[in-house]
Amino acid sequence: MAITYSWLEKQITYNGERRMRRWRNGHVPDQTFGRFMSQEVGIDQSALTRSRWFTMSTYFIATYFPDFLEHDPFEEPDWFQYPYDHATLDFWSFVYQIENARELMDHAEENEMSFHDFRNWVTNYVLSYNEEQEEEVYGIGRSRDGTSFIRYKHWDKYPLDSIYEATKKTKADSN
């Protein structure tokens, strides 16, 4: 569901600019999209998009399928296959704010780690990383639903911004 919604959302353009963020696209583009969803599609997207799981899923999509806009999930569902047999999305939900989260997921998959072992290993990894940097780059956060995750402390230079910038092409750019 997150893949198809994210793909559809990014098909919307306003004055030639592709909608790339959930919010902060400007008052008129955001309001126009909200009206389109409620009047034409018939749903209020906030019920789906305001959860931490949805946000975390969109980072997963951007990380593992950076050119996902070039593939239609309705016509090519196999292209969007989940890449792991062992490491599940709960592993990802713990590390998605870490710049090299994909490498951590690969490690969990290769070693068939339990979620408990993965959390311990990642926590030690993050503490060691912070020590090497001589600052607290990552901390442990707790979401409203009570689940813990590794939280990136420097939102002003959030590492995943570059992922979204890389997928910002409009159809006109690719022609």
Q: What is the pLDDT of residue 134?
A: 94
* Residue 19, pLDDT score: 65
d(CA 48, CA 66) in angstroms, rounded, equals 22
Cut 0.85: pTM above it: no
**R_g over Cα of the chain:** 18
Residue 1's pLDDT is: 59
**pLDDT for res 2:** 64
- Contact assessment for residue 37 and residue 45, using Cβ atoms and an 8 Å cutoff: yes
Alpha carbon 92 to its chain's center:
10
pLDDT score at 43: 67
Query: What is the pLDDT at residue 74?
Result: 86
Query: Over the chain (175 residues), what is each successive 10-residue block's mean pLDDT?
Result: 68 70 63 71 68 78 86 89 92 92 97 96 96 93 83 68 41 39
pLDDT of residue 156: 60
Cβ neighbourhood burial of 129 (10 Å; 0-12, 13-18, 19+): middle
Other C-beta atoms closer than 10 Å to the C-beta of 65 total 20
Structure confidence at residue 39 (pLDDT): 73
DSSP string, 121-134: HHHHHHHHHHHHHT
